Structure 1
Amino acid sequence: MEKRCFGVDIGGTTVKMGLFTVDGKVTDKWEIPTRKEENGKYILEDIAKSVKERMQRDTLTLEDIAGLGIGVPGPVKEDGTVLKCANLGWGVFNVADTVRELTGIENVKVGNDANVAALGEMWQGGGKGYNNLVMVTLGTGVGGGVILGGKILTGSNGAGGEIGHIRVNYEEKDVCGCGKTGCLEQYASATGVVRLAKKALEKKEKKTTLVADDLSAKAVFGAAKAGDELAMDIVEKFGFYLGMALAHISQVIDPEVFVIGGGVARAGQIIIDEVSKNYEENVMFALKNKAFKMAELGNDAGIYGSARMVLD
């Protein structure tokens, strides 16, 4: 029998799980609730139980399993030690060791969820065919993952790729959730785009179809596509700050491609157009003309990347 591997992506509400062939085909995927009570003590037990049930159903033995990978919402060291996952209630402990004990699977790898999603996109998504990439996830916040030579860049404390808190505006007065001011997340996330729209509406400098009590990033990008001047200004600011941040990242990482995903990225080509234009204007000559791609795996990127982790 061809070996299989499990990919697990732990979210705040559900744990996404997938069973894969070693060449990247998903043969089954499912979800279980994330039980966060008692500081998340049941999460790994529930995952182990679900894995064992799936193995029994498919008559898989431990010899048939190439490994099990897990993505978690927090910094993770290379040995599988989590350095606190506040929204799961976890403190510092070794997730990989715990899962090995619970499942009997020896090859267990653990990574930060954004980094793991980047690996998934490299394996079977928008970054397929590239070994050096930066993934940008534009959701409620701004997440990132860096892949170099086909491997996740974790950093010494598992915090590599945290691009949302690169400071891009030293004149900003509003405070970011991290406690600083002028972070990329304040301009390029869904909440950041809405913040910019509210400020623009307060000034009333341009006519617009946007309404203050019905604002969303989707509404802003939709209005911009329709030619709304105020919305177009907001999208230009979004593109300026994100393009500038990616130029800074490129001058350290020199990736082959930028892969852009997350809910905001559903706006489509307008994102690529604005960001790549501002990237080109802010980067040195040797780093111009990088590829910009949209992510393709959606919410499944985490399970793909988690499975891919165990195959090295």
Structure 2
Amino acid sequence: MSCVLGIDIGGTSIKAGLFTPEGKLVEVKKIPTGAIDDEKAFAEVCEGLSSLVVGAGFLPDDVSAVGLDIPGPVDDGGRVGMLPNIRLDPDGLKTAIKHEFGKAALAFVNDANAAALGELWQGSARDLSSFVMVTLGTGVGGGVVTGGKLVCGAFGAGGEIGHITVNAGETRVCGCGRRGCLEQYASATGIVWLYQQACKADGGEHPKPEHATDTITVFDACRDGDACAERAIDQMCDTLGLALAQISCVIDPAAYLIGGGVAGGFDLFAERLAASFRSHCLSTSASARILPCSLGNEAGMYGVAYAALQEAAKGE
């Protein structure tokens, strides 16, 4: 019996899921890591993965496919681009994993694209052939699926919806070096910033976020009727709805799936976001649905496992 590994790579740890080929998650293991860019680090990762496999009753040769999600661009050929936020040698790690699991096919996938594939395989998008995954976290990412296939783009930048311009007059600089990107308004950091600006303008007493991505405080304040929190969420929905309307002009998806940490407040902003989208989009796209993701933080693990299975099928 074969199994599949789906690996979510983070800055301080990796989260590995062991799956059946049918998509059942058998077990999850968190493996602490630092930089994954030398032989010692590769060995520690492989040791953790082997422990997961053997602990679940499998042998290394039972692993038919291994998928890894990457916080950066990955092109259609699986080549990894620049990784500004993590120290990782993808080629070195690939070689080490291939040595550990000699019969496994390997696949690298951008993290937001991986989440889209996960939802397509086992989540909210199982019955959709065309949708856009919108990941709202510290930043804003996206994954585009059309005709049941992921669109990575020629340079690996397909789905970088966080850098659609929604305010050409913005003076603040986005992390990408441009101004007025969606990420500056619809990410966790963007929502907290909008709330703080509203509180500053109001001058009254309001709950204070504990850190730059503390949307929980903002959402709780909104539920308690705080006008500044209401204003921030309205602004977030207006800019996100505008961006989705622009995407619909190009992709015309059947649905948008909202994931990431900010999706914890989906009940608060779902109707506002839908109204904003309808106010900005062409009438022909107005019936596109806006749905919450169902796999949560495990969507990426599911997605890379699915991508790796597809890669394995090519070699059969």
What is the TM-score normalised by the length of structure 1?
Answer: 0.90
Per-residue displacement from partner, 1:223-269 (whole Å, max 9, x unpaired)? 22332222211111100000110111111111121111111111122
Q: CA contact under 8 A between 1:79 and 1:96: conserved in structure 2? A: no
- For 2:240, give the aligned amino acid: L
What is the aligned partner in structure 2 of residue 7 from structure 1? 6
Query: Structure 1's 213 and 153: CA in aligned 2 closer, same or farther, altered over 3 A?
Result: closer
Per-residue displacement from partner, 1:64-108 (whole Å, max 9, x unpaired)? 333111111111123332112233323674865553244313411
Structure 1 CA distance for aligned equivalents of residues 278 and 92 of structure 2: 42
Please, which runs of 5 or more residues in structure 1 have no aligned partner? Answer: none
- For 1:167, give the aligned amino acid: T
What is the aligned partner in structure 2 of residue 50 from structure 1? 48
Are 2:106 and 1:75 aligned?
no
Are 2:296 and 1:298 aligned?
yes
Structure 2 CA distance for aligned equivalents of residues 226 and 237 of structure 1: 18
What is the aligned partner in structure 2 of residue 231 from structure 1? 229
Selected match of 2:148 from 146, 150, 175:
150
Per-residue displacement from partner, 1:254-293 (whole Å, max 9, x unpaired)? 1121111111111122221121111111111111111111
What is the aligned partner in structure 1 of residue 35 from structure 2? 36
Query: Structure 1's 83 and 245: CA in aligned 2 closer, same or farther, altered over 3 A?
Result: same
Selected match of 2:58 from 52, 57, 60:
60
Percent identical residues: 39
Per-residue deviation at 1:31?
1.0
Query: Structure 1's 180 and 195: CA in aligned 2 closer, same or farther, altered over 3 A?
Result: same
What is the aligned partner in structure 1 of residue 250 from structure 2? 252
Q: CA contact under 8 A between 1:81 and 1:94: conserved in structure 2? A: no
Per-residue deviation at 1:208?
6.0
Structure 1 CA distance for aligned equivalents of residues 151 and 254 of structure 2: 15
What is the aligned partner in structure 2 of residue 178 from structure 1? 176
Structure 1 CA distance for aligned equivalents of residues 64 and 209 of structure 2: 52
What is the aligned partner in structure 1 of residue 277 from structure 2? 279
Are 2:113 and 1:115 aligned?
yes
Per-residue deviation at 1:151?
2.3
Q: CA contact under 8 A between 2:260 and 2:296: conserved in structure 1? A: yes
Structure 2 CA distance for aligned equivalents of residues 155 and 294 of structure 1: 25
SS in 2 for 1:90: coil
SS in 1 for 2:82: strand
Using the TM superposition, name which of 226-235 and 182-191 deviates more. 226-235
Q: CA contact under 8 A between 1:154 and 1:161: conserved in structure 2? A: yes
SS in 1 for 2:45: helix
What is the aligned partner in structure 1 of residue 218 from structure 2? 220
What is the TM-score normalised by the length of structure 2?
Answer: 0.89
Selected match of 2:206 from 198, 209, 231:
209
SS in 1 for 2:109: strand
Per-residue deviation at 1:213?
7.2
Are 2:267 and 1:269 aligned?
yes
Q: CA contact under 8 A between 1:83 and 1:91: conserved in structure 2? A: no
Q: CA contact under 8 A between 1:84 and 1:92: conserved in structure 2? A: no
Q: CA contact under 8 A between 2:199 and 2:206: conserved in structure 1? A: no
Q: CA RMSD in A?
A: 2.4
Query: Structure 1's 213 and 58: CA in aligned 2 closer, same or farther, altered over 3 A?
Result: closer
Structure 2 CA distance for aligned equivalents of residues 271 and 128 of structure 1: 24
Structure 1 CA distance for aligned equivalents of residues 183 and 266 of structure 2: 19
What is the aligned partner in structure 1 of residue 313 from structure 2? none
Per-residue deviation at 1:153?
1.2
Query: Structure 1's 135 and 256: CA in aligned 2 closer, same or farther, altered over 3 A?
Result: same
Aligned residue pair count:
309
Structure 2 CA distance for aligned equivalents of residues 301 and 213 of structure 1: 27
What is the aligned partner in structure 1 of residue 306 from structure 2? 308
Structure 2 CA distance for aligned equivalents of residues 278 and 264 of structure 1: 17
Structure 1 CA distance for aligned equivalents of residues 247 and 38 of structure 2: 35
Query: Structure 1's 146 and 212: CA in aligned 2 closer, same or farther, altered over 3 A?
Result: closer
Structure 1 CA distance for aligned equivalents of residues 162 and 97 of structure 2: 30
